[in-house]
Amino acid sequence: MLGKDLKYLRNKHLSAMVQAGELVFQFTESQITGLPVAKNPMKLDANQLLDHKYWLLHALGNGGFGEVWLAQDTVLGDHHVAIKFLTACSPDQDKAFLVEMRALAGLNLPGIVTFHHHFRHQKQLALVMAYCAGGSLLQRLRDRLPEDAQGWVNQVADWMLQLCETLAVVHARGLVHHDIKPSNILLRDGMAVIADFGIVNTTGGTVIYSSPGKGLGLARRDDAREDIYALGVTLLELLNRAHPWNALTGEALEQAKHLRTLPAGLNQPTWLIEIALKAIHPEAELRFQTAADMAAALRARSVPVSVDRNAMKAHRAVLAGEQALKRGAWRKAEQAAAGALRLSPRLPSAVLLAGRIKLLQHQTDAAFDILKDAAHGPSRNLMGVELGWLYLQRGEMAMALSTLSDEVTRNPLNIEAHCLLLECYWSVRRFDEMKHLAEILRAEKCDNSAIENAGLLARLGLRELDPDWLQKQLARAKGSPFSIYNAQVALVGPQALGGWDCLLQKLVFQDFRFGVSAASKSTNTVMVEYQGNKVAFTDKLISIGKLAGNSLQIDSPSTSRRHAVIVNMGNEVWLHDLHSTVGTWVDGILVRGKQPLLGVHDVKIGRVPLRVWSREDRVV
């Protein structure tokens, strides 16, 4: 019932907008810019003297708003300016432009092209601006100047930070650009400066840089997150050296926006792509909320995960409210929803509970008031964990981090999503963030031993743990089987394993499902046949390698010191290759990371053959 009501009202709203001519569709010049194209453009020629002092030199470019010319100020002598001639304006638009241009000039920001003054030529408005000799970022992309890859990444990151800092000040004054793109970003003495502020602020922007919500008319004109979206697309374009969706139109373009499709081969640097993906989230609530937030992420070289302890407490109240609702205890359910909303007013699960209560009480209007924002917001995504896990397994780390960050923002008590996020941090070696997140989750008493193991791994990655502490932990027999195994590996020491990097490669991350109580209580038997002898193992982690401390020691030149581990928990058996030198094979296939063992398998540890039965009742 709710879905039909919301869909009807949304379609009715869009239909009215279409009839009113408010929607902007692609791709003609007037449709992209939102302004009518002048039918009889004025004639401009080099060597013309305008406004009694500006000597036109040559055209710099043209677009939907008109032509831009380089001119010499004959009064000031060797001083050059850029003059933009607006070829499609009305008196009301002229007035609005000038009001905003003066307001921006009053900010005196180095990151905005300076507006000097204006005059009229052939009844059309001409804006006199500072000339940026470095050209635009679009020209820089087209020129493809030779630069080393890392130097280009550093330069792009610097430009993005400059743009974010400028937009943070402008947005704080209630002004939004609405058409951020490489052609509107100029270079002055190496600094990125924004052009056309004020000129584009009443237009629909450029479709391939606009958010999906903006294309549907669902974005407010004063929403600064639209500039953040366009800035994220621009960041991807600079990293890719081409627009990520340049060849797409219509439904294909909209699908790419919703899926945040990355161009083939664009996967580095992970941290900068992660920032871009956060900026271009199709849901405005899950983008950077301010340009200052995006600037902070650029400085930190990572997207901070928002772990809100109030939201965690609120979600516990939601769970209690859902149980009360199942029992028909309306008052308790309403009290739980109200308490959750007081703690975290924007928590999707709390909003949904409050709306569901009103629906079950047949208070449709009240339910719509509560749910109208959530219907197109973060609560409509119900597959964050599954998608995050999929991206993680595929090695698409930026997408995995972005998807899982969104999920824990939506559902702060989704411990599985938190554990996957910890695994992402482990994979990309972001140990500080991994440690911080693990400490918060343990402080909130999140009951899963995978969190404890992740905290141990993070501290080992940061080289914080000494042998005495590790020995004490083992002597107390504390921790999950993974924590005990990893502590034992760490005690062997980096020297015995080839250095710190090699030691970290021998550690094993614990999956969320192996941290639940049912998995820890399960007992399986794994049979391994080696050199004609069968050995039964009930250990939850069975280590294989050349060192004497392994569960199964194999003394062979092709075997690494810590070669592989068999995880035997929760009625599952997995074989992990520990970055061995020669490799691990299962039934003739090279193991990349880990491989499930189901039944009987021929396994090679380096060049040493083994026969492995993952269930005792399969032994023959």
Give the list of residues 6+ apart from residue 515 with CB closer than 8 angstroms, or none. Answer: 419, 448, 449, 450, 451, 453, 480
Please say if the pLDDT value at position 374 is more than 70. no
Does residue 571 or residue 489 have the better pLDDT?
489
Confidence of residue 218 (pLDDT cuts 50, 70, 90): low
Greatest alpha-carbon span in the chain: 101
8 A C-beta contact, residue 516 and residue 480: no
Mean pLDDT calculated for residue range 324-353: 87
C-alpha span between 514 and 520 (Å, rounded) = 7
Confidence of residue 503 (pLDDT cuts 50, 70, 90): very high
Q: What is the pLDDT of residues 80-97, one digit of tens each?
A: 988 888 776 667 677 777
Does residue 73 or residue 479 have the better pLDDT?
73
Confidence of residue 379 (pLDDT cuts 50, 70, 90): very low
pLDDT of residue 421: 96
Mean pLDDT calculated for residue range 96-120: 80
Tokens representing residue 120 in the block? 């009229």
pLDDT of residue 459: 96
Label residue 247 exposed, middle or buried (CB < 10 Å: 0-12, 13-18, 19+). Answer: exposed
Q: What is the pLDDT of residues 410-440, one digit of tens each?
A: 889 999 999 999 999 999 999 999 999 999 9
pLDDT of residue 372: 66
Residue with tokens 């379609």: 11
8 A C-beta contact, residue 225 and residue 289: yes
Query: Among residues 83, 85, 113, which one has the least CA distance to residue 101?
Result: 113
Query: Among residues 562, 535, 529, 536, which one has the least CA distance to residue 548?
Result: 562
Does residue 149 or residue 348 have the better pLDDT?
149
List of domains in the chain:
49-130 (3.30.200.20), 137-300 (1.10.510.10), 309-380 (1.25.40), 384-517 (1.25.40), 522-618 (2.60.200.20)
Tokens representing residue 339 in the block? 């308490």
Confidence of residue 577 (pLDDT cuts 50, 70, 90): very high
8 A C-beta contact, residue 51 and residue 72: no
Q: What is the pLDDT of residues 33-73, one digit of tens each?
A: 334 444 445 678 888 889 888 889 988 877 666 788 899 99
Coil, helix or strand at residue 48: coil
pLDDT of residue 586: 96
Give the list of residues 6+ apart from residue 606 with CB closer than 8 angstroms, or none. Answer: 554, 556, 557, 558, 559, 560, 563, 580, 581, 582, 583, 584
Strongest mean pLDDT among 20-29, 300-309, 454-463: 454-463
C-alpha span between 288 and 279 (Å, rounded) = 6
Average pLDDT, the chain: 84
Confidence of residue 215 (pLDDT cuts 50, 70, 90): low
